[in-house]
Amino acid sequence: MNCEVCELKELVVEQFEVREVLRCILHTIIFHRALGLVRPRDINCELFELTYVQCGVPEVEKEIEEKITEFISKVSKHPNRTSQICLSFYETKDKQSAWFSSKTERVYWERWFINLQIINQRVHMKPNQTKIGFDPGENSFSLEEKKLRRTALEASIRENLFQIIKFVNEKMDHLPHIPPNVEGISYPYEIAILSSSESSLDMLKRMLQTGHQTTLS
């Protein structure tokens, strides 16, 4: 079976935005693949002028929150990196081995890669932070920059959502058969956290921008 892959456009986010962004994208994908009976829930983002849709299954919501928490804890240890979350849909098939044992294997038929670049918040100084030679003018500039960055991120998220719509509309032949009278999730899925190490060029770039000594834990 073909495994369709969709690589979503990279999003540059700050740490506090990670949860909201991942909620938006993960729920949107799962909503499109929860082909059982669902009662959709509209969720208005707190950080962005966006509304996304959840499939309304509590177990899904719980699992997504746990995965996001796990992701955040991983990326907080290694900031300023590009990290990936992979949402995969699979089928389980019994693989009959030559001998009397049999085992089930997962056959993935669709994978979604969500790419996030987490930027360090310390780049943008806050008024209550003390720093030698702190320039108040720098803070006002960072506020403007933050606003622009937030607007750009919102547009990127919207673009991601349109990308999801386009993908699910174009490719549907690979979808497995939906069992009848199923409610909520129709296909099993898994969420995996993949983080890529920072490239040396990225590290050098960041050091020149922030002037901070980087420590990797």
Residue 49 makes contact with another protein by CB under 8 A: yes
C-alpha neighbours within 13 Å on the C-beta side of residue 176: 19
**Closest separation in Å from C-beta 2 to another protein:** 17
Helix (H, G, I), strand (E, B) or coil at 4: strand
Rg (CA), the chain: 21
Binding part of the chain for another protein, among 42-50, 86-94, 114-122, 146-154 by CB under 8 A, reads 42-50
**Closest separation in Å from C-beta 141 to another protein:** 24
**Closest separation in Å from C-beta 123 to another protein:** 29
Residue 37 makes contact with another protein by CB under 8 A: yes
**Closest separation in Å from C-beta 41 to another protein:** 11
Residue 3 makes contact with another protein by CB under 8 A: no
Binders of another protein among residues 174 to 193 (CB under 8 A) are 175, 178
- Taking alpha carbons only, the member of 143, 137, 18, 157 closest to residue 76 is 18
Binders of another protein among residues 109 to 148 (CB under 8 A) are none
Binders of another protein among residues 141 to 170 (CB under 8 A) are 158, 161-162, 165, 168-170
Alpha carbon distance, N-terminus to C-terminus of the chain: 41
> Are the beta carbons of 92 and 108 closer than 8 angstroms?
no
Q: Which residue in the set 47, 53, 86, 143 belongs to the binding site for another protein (CB under 8 A)?
A: 53
Give long-range contacts, CB 8 A cutoff, 24+ apart: 168-177.
Answer: 168/32, 168/33, 171/4, 174/1, 174/2, 174/3, 174/4, 174/109, 174/110, 175/35, 175/109, 175/110, 176/91, 176/109
Binding part of the chain for another protein, among 7-15, 33-41, 120-128, 130-138 by CB under 8 A, reads 33-41
Residue 42 makes contact with another protein by CB under 8 A: yes
Strand 4-7 with 102-119, pairing: parallel
**Closest separation in Å from C-beta 29 to another protein:** 10
**Closest separation in Å from C-beta 164 to another protein:** 8
Instruction: List interacting residues with another protein (CB under 8 A).
Output: 28, 31-32, 35-40, 42, 44, 49-53, 158, 161-162, 165, 168-170, 172, 175, 178
